Copies of this chain bind each other. A is one copy, B any other.
Amino acid sequence: MADALDRLKTRLAEIADLDRVARLLSWDQMTMMPPAGEGHRADHMATLRKVSHEFLTADETGRVLDEVRPVEDSLDPDSDDARLIWLARREYEKARRVPSELRAEMARAGAEARPAWIKAKADSDFASFLPALERNFELRRRYVDCFGEVEEPYDILLDDFEPETTTAEVRELFDELKAELVPLIAELRDRGAADGFLNGDFPPEQQEALAKELIGLLGYRPDTWRLDPTEHPFASGPGIDDIRITTHYHPDNLKSLFSTMHEYGHGLYNHQLPRQIARLPTGGPCSLGIHESQSRLWENLVGRGMPFWQFFYPRLQRTYPKQLGGVELGRFYAAINRVEPSLIRIRADEVTYGMHVILRFELEQDVVNGRIAPRELPDAWNAKMHEYLGVDVPDDAHGVLQDMHWAGGMIGYFATYLLGSVMSVQIWERAKEDVSDLEERIERGEFGALRNWLGEHIHALGRKYPPQETMRRAIGSTIDAKPYLAYLREKYAPQAAPSGT
């Protein structure tokens, strides 16, 4: 039996290796690869995905899973081994339904659509991207079909990013959020603080030095991490001791500070995953929602909070004396927390952010359920932007083409951004309860207590449990919109509307 378990572990470790190699290839593709390398990369990604899928779905995996059945009953159900068997069985049964050729095709179509999307976005030419987009949706349709008759096809897609989470649950949560966010946004719009000083001349080299200083203070070690510039920031890396985060330096604003803290949160999660099972699937991150809770926590709860800026603002002023020397902390704080409906999700403030996600979540379901065709997405997008945020989309580059996810075939992914934002507040509140002087520490530039708390309570659980069970074990409750809404209301609308700006 023990031998069967060892064989299972070896097999799963090799599958995890292949997946992590694919992750490194994606990182390389978005940071280092010469543009003409796209063709090879599509082949290589497809082959890696196919091989990893074949390993997982091999009859031998099924046999080993059968062989370990007797041992399961003797294990502590919370032990690493018991959870590994649970996860392996879950992934095996799911993967067995999908032919490896389809897996390879999905990977290839994703890799091939990316350059089409880059070009289409640059030219704001949705029509040129449409064939690749249609192909990605069509392949997801075929993917969903592998699971037979299902009540809610979108469940299948969502489960790949947020395991054991249903569309109905998310819809209910999002409807609760929408009901409060839409009026809150209407109430707060045009009340934003002046923030002109956040725009100006910020040379990228200086921003890079500042970003490195910042994450160095948060807890970045150059022997295990890299920070590189890229067009669309993301965090990745092939293992806990090799963390790759990226950011984008806009020469005319300081948004890279926040995107760097965001990616730092992702990176820290990857870096503090459970070392003893690092090479096994249970040693990976729990879900994209939990992942996002970590990035949003560092970006917003830490990075847009007053304690952090009490510590860091003097350093920022020293870096940009001409631009910020005369701006008091309070004005700066108000400016970085200005609420203003806008076009681009990744630049949205905390209050309007959720509606960008809800819009995508709804549109994806509309396409997957055949209510609209991919070619109708621009119009549907623009109509919802007007309805939810009151903004008019000038062109597709600033609308339906802004995010790369659909080009990469990541359909069912967006919801996790808002799930993560909601959970980030719950986690933050609990961390503050457990570490009573957390904010005082941050004011002094001490981030170790927060890192450790997150490591112990969230990161150490890896992928041993589905996201909601992870939340229950980490903070004692599952996802809940109320703390998030209360936080937004308290931070952004603490009293009756003040008079003007």
Copy number in the complex reads 2
Let me know if A116 is at the binding interface, CB within 8 A. Answer: no
A48 and B239 alpha carbons, distance in the complex (Å): 16
* Residue of A37, A43, A224 with highest tally of chain B CB at under 10 A: A37
Within 8 A of B (CB), among A9-57: 13-14, 17-18, 20-21, 24-25, 28, 32-37, 39-41, 43-44, 47-48, 50-51, 55
A242 and B41 alpha carbons, distance in the complex (Å): 9
Within 8 A of B (CB), among A89-113: none
Q: Name the contact of A37 in the complex, choosing from B21, B43, B239, B279 (C-beta under 8 A).
A: B239
Q: A21-B21, A32-B32, A40-B240 are in contact. List 17 more A-B contacts (CB 8 A).
A: A13-B43, A14-B51, A17-B44, A17-B48, A18-B47, A18-B48, A28-B28, A34-B223, A34-B224, A34-B241, A34-B242, A37-B239, A37-B241, A40-B241, A41-B242, A44-B238, A51-B55
The 3 closest A-B pairs by CB, nearest first: A37-B242, A40-B239, A17-B47
Chain B residue nearest to A55 (CB atoms) is B51
Let me know if A243 is at the binding interface, CB within 8 A. Answer: yes
Given A33-B242, A37-B238, A279 and B43 touching (CB < 8 A)? yes
Q: Which residues of B contact A39 (CB under 8 A)?
A: 239, 241
User: Smallest CB–CB gap between A360 and chain B, Å?
Assistant: 32
User: Smallest CB–CB gap between A50 and chain B, Å?
Assistant: 7
Within 8 A of B (CB), among A225-253: 225-226, 238-243
The answer to whether B34 touches A243 (Cβ under 8 A) is yes
Let me know if A448 is at the binding interface, CB within 8 A. Answer: no
A159 and B454 alpha carbons, distance in the complex (Å): 53
Let me know if A321 is at the binding interface, CB within 8 A. Answer: no
A314 and B283 alpha carbons, distance in the complex (Å): 58
Q: Which residues of B contact A238 (CB under 8 A)?
A: 37, 40-41, 44
* Residue of A25, A40, A48 with highest tally of chain B CB at under 10 A: A40
Chain B residue nearest to A237 (CB atoms) is B37
A43 and B241 alpha carbons, distance in the complex (Å): 13
User: Smallest CB–CB gap between A111 and chain B, Å?
Assistant: 12
Let me know if A131 is at the binding interface, CB within 8 A. Answer: no
* Residue of A34, A50, A223 with highest tally of chain B CB at under 10 A: A34
Chain B residue nearest to A239 (CB atoms) is B40
Let me know if A222 is at the binding interface, CB within 8 A. Answer: yes
Q: List 17 A-B contacts (CB under 8 A).
A: A13-B47, A17-B43, A20-B44, A21-B47, A24-B25, A24-B44, A28-B28, A34-B226, A34-B241, A34-B243, A36-B241, A37-B238, A40-B238, A40-B240, A41-B242, A43-B279, A51-B51
A396 and B39 alpha carbons, distance in the complex (Å): 44
Q: Which residues of B contact A17 (CB under 8 A)?
A: 43-44, 47-48
The answer to whether B40 touches A242 (Cβ under 8 A) is yes
Chain B residue nearest to A238 (CB atoms) is B40
